[in-house]
Amino acid sequence: MSAQVAKANLIDALKALHQRWERAKSHWDDKASADFERQVIEQIEPRVRSAIKSFDQVTELISMVKRECGDDDRE
């Protein structure tokens, strides 16, 4: 799986988590669920964003390294 595929999969996984959480919230609506959302669910997205930023950087670097160190004039 390339970093770009991993990025797409990670975004999908986060979306699926949010959808399932929203569904759960419609059956669980009290202070405990609000606390759980704030302390657990909402903490995940910024961490995923940070990882995605790293995935993007690493994708760019891998392209650069392959370009600079690969052999583009084989005979």
Q: Which residues bind another protein (CB under 8 A)?
A: 1-3, 5-7, 9-10, 12-14, 16-17, 20-21, 23-24, 27-33, 35-36, 40, 43-44, 46-48, 50-51, 53-55, 57-58, 61-62, 65, 68-69, 71, 73, 75
- Closest distance of CB 59 from another protein, Å: 9
At 15, the amino acid letter reads K
Contact criterion met (CB below 8 Å) for 25 and 37: yes
CB of 45 to another protein, least distance (A): 10
**Which value, to the nearest 10 degrees, does the dihedral of the CA atoms of residues 52, 58, 63, 67 take?**
170
Task: State the nearest-atom distance from the C-beta of 60 to another protein, in Å.
Answer: 10
Taking alpha carbons only, the member of 48, 41, 51, 47 closest to residue 18 is 41
